[in-house]
Amino acid sequence: MAERVVRRKPAAARRRERKGVALSIELIVVLPVLLLVLVAMVEYGILLISTQGISAAASVGARLAALPSTSKVDVEDAVETALGGYIWNGRHETLVFVDGDKDLSVAPGTGPLAMAGSGAEVQVTVRIDADEVAPDILRYIGVSLVGSQVSATFITRKE
C-alpha cells in the first residue's frame, strides 16, 4: 500500500493567516468607534464655526447699536449682512435690549434704541437653534441638538 504524504503549510504561513483574522476582528470592533469620534468632531467643528460667526455678528450689531440715532432695523440689517455667508442665514433671531427693556420697534428711527440717550446700556443677542446650524447626526446614539441654541450677546453703551 502506498503511503499518502500530507504536506502541511509552513508555520510562518499559518501565523500570517491567524494574524489576518485577528486584524479583521479588531477592525470590526474599532471602526464604528472611530467613525463615531470622527462624526462627533465634524459636528462639533461646525458648531464652533457657527458660534464664531454668531459672535462676530452680535459684535457688529452692538457696535452699530452704540451709535447715535441707530434703530433696531439698522442693527438687524447689520447682523443679517454679517451672517451673509452661512447657509442658515435668515433663520436666526436678533434681540435688542435698551437698559434691560426689549426693543420691539419695527420702523426705522423709532423705538427705545433710536431714542436712547448717551450712556444707555445696549445689549444685542443673536441666537439660532443648534439643529439649524449643524446636522444632528449624533441623535442616533442619543446625543441630540434639538432644544439647544447657539447664541452670543454683546453689551455696550450708547455714545
Q: What is the largest CA-CA distance in the chain?
A: 116
Q: Give the pTM.
A: 0.77
Q: How do the domains of the chain map onto residue ranges?
A: 16-157
Question: From the CA atom positions of the chain, what is the Rg in Å?
Answer: 29
Specify the pLDDT at position 12: 62
Closest CA to 156 of 73, 96, 83, 80: 96
Residues 85-110 pLDDT 10s? 888 888 999 999 998 888 777 677 77
pLDDT tens-digit readout, 117-156: 888 899 999 999 998 998 888 888 888 888 899 999 999 9
| CA distance linking residue 120 with residue 100, whole number of Å | 10
